[in-house]
Amino acid sequence: VDMKRNLTTLCGMLGKFGGTHNLGRPVKEAFSEKVQRRLATTVPPRPMAEMSFRDAVTKLEKMLQDIHAALLVEETGAFKDPCNLVNFLQFWNVREPLTFARATLQTWLFGDLKVAPSIEKLLLKDVKGLVLREDKLLDPINWTVEVPADPRHQIARLIDNFRQKASMDYQNMYQSFNRRSYLRKAEAIDTELHELSRENWIVEEDPESEPIPYFPLTYWVYHHKVRQMEWIVELGFEQDVYAPDELALMYWYLQHLTASRVEHLKRIRLFLSNRHERLLREDRNTEKARNMLLTLGYNTNLTAEAIAIHSLAFSLFTLYSLLNYLKLLGGEDRPCSSDRLRYQLRMKPFFNISTPELPAYVDVWDPVYASGGSQEQCNKAEDALKTAKERITVLKSLGPQEMKYVGNEVEYQNRVRQMLRSCIATGLAIASVRAACAKYGSEDKADSLHKDVLRSVLNVEIPNPETRYAAQWVVPKITQKKAKS
Amino acid sequence: MSNDKAAAPANLRYVQYDPSKEELYMAAIRQLISKDLSEPYSIYVYRYFLYTWGHLCYMALDDADNLTGVVVCKLEPHRNGPLRGYIAMLATREEYRGKGIGTKLERLAIDAMNAEDADEVSHIRPQQLALPVIQYSFSRQIVLETEVTNTASLRVYERLGFLRSKRLHRYYLDGNTAFRLVLYLKDPAEWQSRAGLMQDPPSA
């Protein structure tokens, strides 16, 4: 492909720019305002930024590096599996690629060049990978039946219908990674996916063969929806959008979302294993059974990941609500606003979504004594960390095919390692608070004097995104100052 | 902050702008703001704000009538729905920073926008809202953007209760990234239940 060849050549020139620059002479007339006016655009000439040659070269090199990394999507075959592709895009976007690079990759995958299979094919593969492996619903025979009254024909029609409706939003999902302007895009996706999921209960498996009714397409949509919501919340941490006293609320919400997804994955797993057993019993088809095992394996791995995220989020939520209770994170005296209004504003994108349900208001400022005091909070936080670490160990051992990160082996291992480090750091923070509470604190609810002492003893530092182990895990640094008695 | 900063002038007056003051203060306002803020604004930008919403502009003047701080805002219905206040510019003289002048100007502006109740409604043409003019206050929010590196500005607003609602990549001409800061003054739910005639506000 021509484009690819040109870009590869360009990438090969990295590092060679600038060597002969001092031999050149600037030609200002080559891009003057007059020239700008002639460009095929109705936008009036903008003020032109003067960029030094060195800055320009740096920018060009970054662009080429981004494209070079993007080329890997084809070389490694990452595009073949939709989940893998999603992971690839996520990892790639961490480098904050320049617009041209993003546009190039998008054209590659979904534009005229169509490196990736069409969106509809990807969609179906995705659905298959999560819920409909070896299911009669996706049996190709269905599409060959022409008798309209035959349920198989109807099934084929319904699936096609779903595919058409969902493909727009599904494509949006890929594009939203490329743009990271998460709120608007994601809101649209969520509400539309939600609409879709309401329509899809018509597609049911024959209740006689399955003890529980199941809605595969709805389940698939729901899983993606919740995952998107989790990513949105995580992105907020990465972009440093939440104030210190909001961290408790946002980690609460993250663990709320992942808890729902864990339950959901278990539900899917149930009918996947039913189907697997049936295949072994009736069909004796070893290839199909093997495919089922792979899908089941992926479900297990996804579950492990979700539990890990849930546990660490829960631990941080518990820790931050304790810190809020001790008033160590500021934010009490805000003359123009109130906690409720701030909650309304912060959770605005999520209110229109009915599941997982979002309460009208969540009080994260004083749940501590509802659940038994500071030592109890620390215990809960530490237990959650244990679970997180266990799951992370599992994640570390998963290969690229099992966890769908072909093409990003290094990044994946880094991510797992960063998460583990975040767990350890959280443990240290909890230990500091626990020690201080044990020494200076009092478990008597009415005793505010000891809260003041604790406040003068503890120093909490919220690291900014660059200094964290992982951008989405905001672990506070807690140190003790000398107590003023 | 350096030690050789002047202490805040003892007698600072906070004065509300109005069109009659243009000759006296417009030049000083432009000078202070262009010195402080990175975005280049032409005279038309100042006129846009001050001609329509001059009453939402507050100046901090010292004894000698020198301008030490200024805030410029506007207030408009946002997408056929709630009234949204927008803080366009806030600037304080460098020597006088950190003394609460910016915060005070902010409070004046926010209070002014808050007080724009029945009066405000009567200024809006009913056709614009597509419903009869109603004598109650809409839900209110105030919005502004500021560079992610502008910690002083962030501190002023966040102390007042603003939240960072979005991060805007490369928002400014010089390539800097911005935070959009928003403050809810009234509960949207409360507003929605009363406005049975209105459509649901689109998710912004």
B115, B31: one domain: yes
Lowest mean pLDDT among A50-54, A106-110, A154-158, A196-200: A196-200
* Contacts B186 to A, Cβ<8 Å: 341
- Beta strand B67-77 pairing with B58-61: antiparallel
* Region class of A285: left (phi > 0), else alpha (psi between -120 and 50), else beta: beta
Beta bridge partners of A399: none
The helix or strand, by DSSP H or E, that contains position A11, with its residue range, turns out to be helix A2-12
The verdict on residue B81 lying in a domain is yes
Contact partners, residue A184, CB within 8 Å, separation at least 6 = none
Across the interface, whether the CB atoms of A336 and B159 are under 8 A apart is answered no
Q: Are residues B147 and B111 in the same domain?
A: no
For residues B147 and B82, membership in a common domain is answered with no
* CATH code: domain of residue B55: 3.40.630.30
Residues B110 and B160 in one domain: no
- Section B69-94 average pLDDT: 82
The b/e string for A145-170 (b: 16+ C-beta within 10 A; e otherwise) is eeeeeeebbbbbebbeebbeebbebb
Residue ranges of alpha helices (H) inside A132-181 are 151-179
Please check the confidence at residue A470 and state whether its pLDDT lies above 50.
Answer: yes
Stretch among A209-213, A313-317, A434-438, B117-121 having the lowest mean pLDDT: B117-121
Question: How many angstroms separate the CA of residue B100 from the nearest CA in chain A?
Answer: 14
Of the three residues B68, B87, B121, the one that is the final residue of a domain is B121
| Residue B4 is assigned to a structural domain of this protein | no
Query: Strands B140-147, B13-16: parallel, antiparallel or unpaired by DSSP?
Result: unpaired
Beta strands, E only, A329-475: 458-461
Contacts of B154 (CB under 8 A, 6+ apart): B146, B179, B181
Residues B114 and B172 in one domain: no
Which of the pair, A266 or A214, is modelled with greater confidence?
A: A266
Task: Indicate if B166 and B93 belong to the same structural domain.
Answer: no
Name every chain A residue with its beta carbon within 8 A of the beta carbon of B45.
none
Q: Do B93 and B51 sit in the same domain of this protein?
A: yes
Whether B132 is in a domain gets the answer no
ipTM of the shown complex: 0.76
B44 and B84 belong to one structural domain: yes
Q: Is pLDDT of A355 > 60?
A: yes
Residue B137 domain flag: no
Residue B203 belongs to some domain of the structure: no
> How close is the nearest chain A Cα to the Cα of B183, in Å?
7
Give the best residue of A184, A336, A344 to mutate against chain B (max B CB count within 10 A): A336
Residue where a domain stops, chosen among B121, B153, B168: B121
Q: List CB contacts (< 8 A) between B161 and chain A.
A: 334-338, 341-342
Q: How far is B167 from chain A (nearest CA, A)?
A: 7
Residue A40 confidence (pLDDT): 63
Assess if residue B33 is contained within a domain: yes
The count of structural domains within chain B is 2
Chain A positions in Cβ-Cβ contact with residue B169 (cut-off 8 Å): 180-181
Cα(A8)–Cα(A1) distance, integer angstroms: 11
- B131 domain-assigned: no
Token digits of residue A369: 């004594």
A interface mutation test: which of B143, B149, B164 has the most A CBs within 10 A? B164
Structural tokens at position B161: 């209760």
Question: B99-146 pLDDT, tens per residue?
Answer: 888 888 888 888 888 776 422 222 223 333 333 333 233 447 888 888
Asked if residue B129 is part of any domain, the answer here is no
Dmax (CA) for chain A in angstroms is: 87
- For residues A283 and A414, give the distance between their C-alpha atoms in angstroms, rounded to a whole number: 42
Backbone angles phi, psi at B140, to 5 degrees: -125, 140
Least CB–CB distance from A336: residue in B160, B173, B174: B160
Q: Hey, are the CB atoms on B203 and A352 less than 8 Å from each other?
A: yes
pLDDT per position as a tens digit, A250-296: 999 999 999 999 999 998 888 888 878 877 777 666 778 888 888 89
B26 and B94 housed in the same domain? yes
Let me know whether B149 and B78 are in one domain: no
Q: Which residues of B touch A98 (CB under 8 A)?
A: none
* B60 and B91, same domain (yes or no): yes
Q: Is the pLDDT of residue A17 over 80?
A: no
Mutate one of B150, B163, B170 to test the A interface: name it (highest A CB count within 10 A).
B163
User: Which residues does chain A have within 8 Å of residue B84's beta carbon, measured at their own beta carbons?
Assistant: none
Examine the domain organization and report whether B165 and B97 are in the same domain: no
Domain that holds residue B178: 143-186
Q: How far apart are CA A154 and CA A142, in angstroms?
A: 8
Poorest-pLDDT segment among A298-312, B9-23, B115-129: B115-129
Cβ pair A334:B159 closer than 8 A: yes
Greater confidence (B128 vs A408) lies with A408
The mean-pLDDT minimum among A6-20, A49-63, A294-308, B182-196 falls in B182-196
Of chain A, the percentage scoring pLDDT greater than 70 comes to: 79
